[in-house]
Amino acid sequence: MEKQPLPHAEHPQVLIVGAGPVGLTLAILLKQYGVPLRIIEKNAGPSTSTKAMAIHSRTLEVFRELGIADRAVAQGFAIKAFSIQANQRRIINYNFSLLEAAWPMLLSLPQPDAEKLMLQRLEALGVNVEWNTTLNDIRQEADGASALLQQGDGEEQWVSCRWLCACDGARSTVRKKLNLSFDGSAYDSYFMLADADIEWDQRRDEGAFFLGAAEGYVAIAPIDGKGRYRLFFEMPHALPPESERPQLDLATFQSLCDGRGQQMTLSNLSSTTLAAFQHRQVTQLRHGAIFLLGDAAHIGSPIGGQWMNLGLSEAYNLGWKLAWVARGYAGPQLLDSYHEERYPVAQEAEKTAHRLTKLITTRKRPLVWLRNNLLPLISGRSKVQRKLPSLISGHHYHYCGSRWVLNELKKGERNSWRKKAAQRALPVAAPRAGQLAPDVMLWAAPGTQAQPLSELFRQRYLLLIFTAAEGDSALVAGWQAMAQALVAGYQGIAARCVADALSADEHDGEPRLIADPDWRLHRRYHADAGCLVLIRPDGYIAFLGKDADALSDFLQTTAALRQQHDAAVTDLLDDVAA
């Protein structure tokens, strides 16, 4: 995407409060788009406590956009599977190798290591975190927001910004200054956590929940594949007063293992802590020029490792939208889509984690029996096995109900595609507007290197024109003319014509071509009849259909994109419309 210079200002376009993983992700994205920013953190330096360590497959795709995915995978450890076990029997098994993704894994990478990679990337981009800087007050302004900052024990200073992003955690100062309710409750149990070396007979590339009844569950997740693990022990009662709390030493944790029937020997204990988890959410993610992300907006059960990953996805969703508006590519109404798209996802994540927590921690005998005996019958089915890993990988979240995407295809057209899918052995599920765009390795001529489709929509919209082998040539020609006009008329849009080998030989000019002689791209998108697919900069399908006029209207109204005011471009758009 072409970066046009923004006017330099003493005060930033975006002020990010909090330099944890969510704030750092947002800062990197904005800087890559060329948006002026400041990022502050009340602590004196990066966190050294392990906290989160599960990096989902979808989050690794976000890391790819940050430029740190390969280093994260190299430093972390790939967990291949995670199971829930009871009575020495697997009742649910999440096999991450079944994911259709660039990284079919759950990556174990302690939070300090992930933050270090992010900090190195941000510093390489020329941005330094302002450590030891406290936010003392905020106020909404007519054209943005102001923040009262204090560095160390120095003087307070008001700083104005166009947008303020709260990434300051569960005890968010921004949320408190806005007087926002944080509705929810605490769980009845508390948890004891530790990292330790373990000697046992289990695979080192798998994690597991071992369920008990009255005594609670044990969760064990590999950290490095060399015998070091993170342990979670559920204590099935409220957190006791500090004077009555158990000692967090090796003997205590070994006793917990022995008492819960786990045949293992612990050593080299570290990072021990007690924690009482809660599930809480705000009701609005946007308040004027102020946005809430990550733990500042929601917290929940650690089961499933959702929350850091959810916050990173929120930063990814908001980052490109702030950049598009800051650069004048889109109108400010685009920012309304942040809450409208991400709040339902946060609600779904909270409900899923809460239900899974209740399922795992229940001590009601009828429910325990049903869980331990019925779930293996359901989860063992091949269709369920294929779906399970996507439920905690981040890939299944979508915006299909959002008014910010458009599925223009009629119901009959979709049904006809499904019939053809059955006949031609296409993927069962056709992609829809609002879902993640399937990432396909593109065909490469002999002697050239193949690249994924996702390389083509980095920091821009990508319009795919599927011509189809037996497509209407006049219709396709109209699509190509429309695409040429859109690319000329809007900033940040690229177009590609997806054609078979014969069409490739005949193709000349714009839009540029994606050769698809083996039809892998047509098949994955169920585009054997030809269609238009518009993919957003964050990898979600914005538009799916055949009507060029509907796409043009969508860009101007729903997507809130702004046309370039150039006479030649205007004439070209008018000619296509006519």
Q: Which helix (H) or strand (E) holds 185?
A: strand 183-186
Computed from CA positions of residues 507, 511, 515, 521, in that sequence, does the dihedral angle turn out positive or negative? negative
Average pLDDT (41-56) is 89
Q: Could you tell me if 66 and 118 are in contact, meaning their C-beta atoms sit under 8 angstroms apart?
A: yes
Q: Could you tell me if 242 and 190 are in contact, meaning their C-beta atoms sit under 8 angstroms apart?
A: no
Q: What is the pLDDT of residue 468?
A: 73
Q: What is the pLDDT of residue 142?
A: 92
The Cα angle at residue 479 between residues 324 and 505, in degrees rounded to 5: 110
The Cα angle at residue 345 between residues 539 and 216, in degrees rounded to 5: 125
Q: Could you tell me if 486 and 463 are in contact, meaning their C-beta atoms sit under 8 angstroms apart?
A: yes
Domains of the chain (ranges, CATH numbers): 14-53+110-184+279-360 (3.50.50.60), 188-276 (3.30.9.10), 406-577 (3.40.30.10)
What's phi and psi for 515, nearest 5 deg? -75, 130
Spacing of C-alpha 182 from chain mean position: 23
Distances (CA, A) of 77 to 230, 264, 270, 305: 13, 21, 19, 15
CA–CA gap between residue 387 and residue 391 (Å, rounded): 7
What's phi and psi for 193, nearest 5 deg? -120, 150
Enter the tokens of residue 292. 């809430």
Q: Which helix (H) or strand (E) holds 84?
A: strand 81-86
Average pLDDT (22-47) is 97
**pLDDT bucket at 508, cuts 50 / 70 / 90:** low
Pairing of strands 228-235, 265-275: unpaired
**pLDDT bucket at 564, cuts 50 / 70 / 90:** confident
**pLDDT bucket at 253, cuts 50 / 70 / 90:** very high
Please provide the average confidence, as pLDDT, over all residues in the chain: 87
The verdict on whether omega for the bond into residue 511 sits within 30 degrees of 0, i.e. cis, is: yes
Pairing of strands 183-186, 106-108: unpaired
Residue-wise pLDDT for 82-119, tens only, equals 999 988 889 999 999 999 889 999 999 999 999 999 99
What's phi and psi for 129, nearest 5 deg? -70, 135
Q: What is the pLDDT of residue 519?
A: 87
**pLDDT bucket at 567, cuts 50 / 70 / 90:** very low
- Among candidates 52, 53, 56, which has minimal Cα distance to 105? 56
Q: Could you tell me if 92 and 381 are in contact, meaning their C-beta atoms sit under 8 angstroms apart?
A: no
Give the count of beta carbons closer than 10 Å to the beta carbon of residue 499: 25
Q: What is the pLDDT of residue 513?
A: 85
- Residue corresponding to tokens 């930033």: 12
Q: Could you tell me if 395 and 333 are in contact, meaning their C-beta atoms sit under 8 angstroms apart?
A: no
Residues in CB range of 206: below 8 A, 6 or more apart: 79, 80, 81, 82, 83, 222
Phi-psi region of 547 (alpha: psi -120 to 50; beta: other; left: phi over 0): beta
3-state secondary structure of 33: coil
Strand order in the sheet with 541-545: 406-407, 541-545, 531-535, 461-466, 493-499, 512-515
The Cα angle at residue 414 between residues 411 and 417, in degrees rounded to 5: 150
Average pLDDT (64-76) is 97
- Among candidates 375, 313, 432, which has minimal Cα distance to 29? 313
Written as one string, the DSSP assignment of 362-378 is ---HHHHHHHHHHHHHH
Q: What is the pLDDT of residue 422?
A: 44
CA–CA gap between residue 542 and residue 405 (Å, rounded): 5
Enter the tokens of residue 78. 């790939």
Q: What is the pLDDT of residue 2?
A: 44
Average pLDDT (238-247) is 89
CA–CA gap between residue 551 and residue 495 (Å, rounded): 13
- Among candidates 251, 313, 322, 312, which has minimal Cα distance to 290? 322
Q: Could you tell me if 533 and 541 are in contact, meaning their C-beta atoms sit under 8 angstroms apart?
A: yes
Residue-wise pLDDT for 179-234, tens only, equals 999 999 988 889 999 999 999 988 999 999 998 767 788 999 999 999 999 999 99
Higher pLDDT, 515 or 8: 515
Enter the tokens of residue 345. 């996802």
Average pLDDT (473-487) is 83
Q: What is the pLDDT of residue 10?
A: 60
Within 13 A of 578's CA, how many CA atoms are on the CB side? 6
Residues in CB range of 25: below 8 A, 6 or more apart: 62, 66, 118, 312, 315, 316, 319
Letter string b/e over residues 160-192, b meaning 16 or more CB atoms within 10 A of that residue's CB: bbbbbbbbbbeebbbbebbebebeeeebebbbb
**pLDDT bucket at 483, cuts 50 / 70 / 90:** confident
Whether 9 shows a pLDDT value over 50: the answer reads no
Residue-wise pLDDT for 285-300, tens only, equals 999 999 999 999 999 8
Q: What is the pLDDT of residue 416?
A: 45
Q: What is the pLDDT of residue 340?
A: 97
Residue-wise pLDDT for 322-339, tens only, equals 999 999 999 999 999 999
CA–CA gap between residue 221 and residue 352 (Å, rounded): 20
Higher pLDDT, 445 or 89: 89
* Inter-axis angle of helices 21-32 and 111-124, nearest 10: 20
Distances (CA, A) of 353 to 94, 301, 422: 15, 6, 35
**pLDDT bucket at 318, cuts 50 / 70 / 90:** very high
